[in-house]
Amino acid sequence: MIETAFTPWASLAGGVLIGVSSTLLMLMLGRVFGATGILAGLFQPASGQDFSWRAALVAGMVSGPAVVWLMTGQMPAVEVPISTLALVLGGLIVGVGVTYGSGCTSGHGVCGMARLSPRSIAATITFMIFTGLTVYIIRHVIGG
């Protein structure tokens, strides 16, 4: 049985950081904080400046555990209660969804919904419905 951990303070802190960073990116560069688009653009940047801000954001996103380690003296516990195959398949499915949905949860769910974009609202509702269905099927039908 997969246990769900409720972490309100860590979740609040993460949400605040995402909100602040997406607002600053929009204010300073006029860009939407879509994590997959930022990562994809890192491999084919339009210019040196384009590469720099993308690299800084990606470095910030992946350096979280190091910040926790510096602040607490221990690395955060990361538990992935699924097989490597399921993780890889899930990543591929998300990649296909991001491509067909023209964006990810950070682009549509944070920035698009804040701009009241009908397309982003529809995409986010779709993400949430299929997330709920997936969790239900994995936990209660398949028995993960």
Please report whether residue 3 resides in a domain.
no
Q: Would you state the structure tokens that stand for residue 15, as one six-digit string? A: 């949400």
**CB of 75 within 8 A of CB of 69?**
yes
Q: What domain range includes position 30? A: 8-142
Please report whether residue 2 resides in a domain.
no
State pLDDT tens for residues 71-107: 999 988 877 878 889 889 888 888 888 888 788 888 8
Dihedral sign from CA coordinates of 57, 61, 63, 64: positive
Number of domains in the chain: 1
Looking at residue 1, what is its pLDDT?
Answer: 56
pLDDT classification of 144: cutoffs 50, 70, 90: low
Please report whether residue 46 resides in a domain.
yes
Say which amino acid occupies 29: L
Please report whether residue 1 resides in a domain.
no
Return d(Cα 47, Cα 37) in angstroms, integer.
15
